[in-house]
Amino acid sequence: MMTRFSGVGSTRDGLTVLESPVFMKAIATSVIEQCPSVSYVQFAAAHSGYHVPFGLINGNVEAL
């Protein structure tokens, strides 16, 4: 199951998130820890092909 969240604000805001691996890992960790059925979080820029996936590996959230 995939849930899409959009509307980060401006395009620049969304790109700023994608430029911060520390921030993305913090968000992914929070989502994964708060939602037991979630083990994968992906950040992406629409229509760009650019994406940054995070997943649960041996109990730790890691960039994939």
Indicate whether 52 belongs to any domain.
yes
Indicate whether 49 belongs to any domain.
yes
Q: What total of structural domains would you count in the chain? A: 1
pTM (2 decimals)?
A: 0.78
Indicate whether 48 belongs to any domain.
yes
pLDDT at 35 over 70: yes
Indicate whether 58 belongs to any domain.
yes
Indicate whether 33 belongs to any domain.
yes
Q: Average the pLDDT over 16-23 and give the result.
A: 85
The structure tokens listed for 57 are: 């590996």
How far is 14 from 59, CA to CA, in rounded Å? Answer: 28
% of the chain surpassing 70 pLDDT: 77
Rg of the chain taking only CA atoms, in angstroms? 12
Q: Residue 53, Cα to own-chain centre: how many angstroms? A: 6
Indicate whether 50 belongs to any domain.
yes
